């Protein structure tokens, strides 16, 4: 794939949250193309000295502990799905960190179960958002049901959300928010990876 993002000079670091049962397939498009656009991608775990294991059985050694992550040092915090989001409060600190980011005006992108974590934290009560299905979030008891949008992915200011079956749409919103692709190039990127549109390849590389 020879597509060139809008800019390839170094940009501010993007932080990818990692934890046990991390859903491997949900963020690959986003992180790969952010890196190609000049954003270093660093992983953030519960602790820097303890590896985590993804749903696919991969072991990841976090670059940074969550407690050491500051919004001012980041361009974006990405929260992926994980079984742990629905299995207790182990990942609640990541939702609280997302609150810090949003309050500081730094974007947060959440997909799959991470949207439920944000709902429990109250971060979806006043923002447009989406997830797997509306009743999945309703089960959290949150107050934002009227802001739920039944679509592939949603951007509302600094918050991006998507459901588990939409990693390409999620990446589209992330790449657009950080300016990796712009205008027709972003649309072509999406059509290429979501629809396998051969014409989009030519447009992306024009």
Active site amino acids: 112
DSSP assigned state of 206: -
User: 55 burial class (0-12, 13-18, 19+ CB within 10 angstroms)?
Assistant: middle
Are 175 and 34 within 8 A, CB to CB?
Answer: yes
CA distances from residue 5 to 106, 145, 153, 176, 186 in whole angstroms, order as listed: 22, 36, 21, 11, 9
Asked if residue 122 lies in contact with residue 102, where contact means CB atoms within 8 angstroms, the answer is: no
Q: Cα–Cα distance between 204 and 103 in angstroms, integer?
A: 35
Cα 85 to chain center, whole Å? 15
Here the tokens at position 161 are 């959300």
Write the DSSP string, 106-119.
Answer: --EEEETHHHHHHH
């Amino acid at each position: 794939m020879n597509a060139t993002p809008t800019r390839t000079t170094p940009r501010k670091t993007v932080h990818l949250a990692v934890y046990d049962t991390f859903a491997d397939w949900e963020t690959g498009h986003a992180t790969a193309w952010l890196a190609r656009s000049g954003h270093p991608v660093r992983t953030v775990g519960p602790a820097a000295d303890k590896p985590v294991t993804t749903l696919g059985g991969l072991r990841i050694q976090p670059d940074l502990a969550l407690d050491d992550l500051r919004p001012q040092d980041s361009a974006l915090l990405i929260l992926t799905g994980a079984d742990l989001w629905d299995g207790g409060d182990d990942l609640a600190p990541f939702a609280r960190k997302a609150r810090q980011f949003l309050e500081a005006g730094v974007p947060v992108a959440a997909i799959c179960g991470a949207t439920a974590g944000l709902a429990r934290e109250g971060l979806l009560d006043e923002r447009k958002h989406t997830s797997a299905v509306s009743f999945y979030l309703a089960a959290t008891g949150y107050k934002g049901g009227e802001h739920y949008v039944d679509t592939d992915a949603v951007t509302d200011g600094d918050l991006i959300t998507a459901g588990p079956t939409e990693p390409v749409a999620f990446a589209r919103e992330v790449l657009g928010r950080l300016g990796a692709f712009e205008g027709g190039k972003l649309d072509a990127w999406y059509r290429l990876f979501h629809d396998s549109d051969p014409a989009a390849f030519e447009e992306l590389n024009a």
